[in-house]
Amino acid sequence: MAQLEFRSVTREYLLGQQTVRALDDVSLVIPEREFVSVIGPSGAGKSTMLHLMGGLDTPTSGQVLLAGQDLAALDDDGLSDIRRRTVGFVFQFFNLLPMLSAWENVAVPRLLDGASLASVKPRAVELLERVGLADRAEHRPGELSGGQMQRVAIARSLIMDPGVILADEPTGNVDSDTGRQILDLLTGIAHDEGARQSVVMVTHSLDAARCTDRTLLLVDGRMRADGPPAEVLPVFAGEAVPAATDPVATGGPVRSGS
């Protein structure tokens, strides 16, 4: 089953009198239990793609389907509901609430869904145990290392049992050893046969991309390569990437994204 699908997705923005094309006719399917990395130079459209995947933005044309649901067919309440229940987010800078303990931070999505704090605590502590932080459950973020805070964020992303985990530079703010631990956790999530979850990770790290099952290469908003990291990373290194056409000189739209 496809957890996530793009059908000819284009996203354009108006910047003054100029049309900025952040994504250009991108199609892809992400099935269950796959760990996917998204790479590309700055301005390639990686963040735009992640925002569209998570229902944080809408395409100018094309369709984004999450768990088979066309996001364009949902109103604001429907989008909020599918974001809360179907997508887990992991951010580079953790986004933990400093006044809450680790387990309370993990519990936050369930609390927003109407559950009581007491009813959520067992599951939150269970997820902290899964990421190796059961002994830090009562600690606040200020008492945790960067790597520990990121593991709390990963546990939080799992509390709603989402089908898709979207990770934005999850190893970008930790040391290399901790980054390896984070990647091991994400790999375990994607390959858990009982969970049927997929992980999509935007990264600038080629070492991180090598740990994934599949790599998407974006260049100027276009999908330039899609396949195993061993095949795609040499393309990113420039061995098979043709020079981009200057859109201003040709009168076409500017392609830009982050």
pTM exceeds 0.85, yes or no? yes
Each residue of 186-202: pLDDT tens digit? 999 999 877 889 999 99
pLDDT exceeds 70 at position 249: no
- Indicate which CATH number applies to the domain containing 167: 3.40.50.300
The mean predicted confidence, pLDDT, of the chain is: 88
Structural domain count of the chain: 1
Task: List the domain range (segments joined by +) for residue 159.
Answer: 2-255
Q: DSSP letters of the chain?
A: -EEEEEEEEEEEEEETTEEEEEEEEEEEEEETT-EEEEE-STTSSHHHHHHHHTTSS--SEEEEEETTEEGGG--HHHHHHHHHHHEEEE-TT----TTS-HHHHHHHHHHHTT--HHHHHHHHHHHHHHTT-GGGTT--GGGS-HHHHHHHHHHHHHTT--SEEEEESTTTTS-HHHHHHHHHHHHHHHT-TTT--EEEEE-S-HHHHHTSSEEEEEETTEEEEEE-HHHHHHHHTTSS-PPPP-HHHHT--EE---
Query: Does the pLDDT value for residue 248 go beyond 50?
Result: no
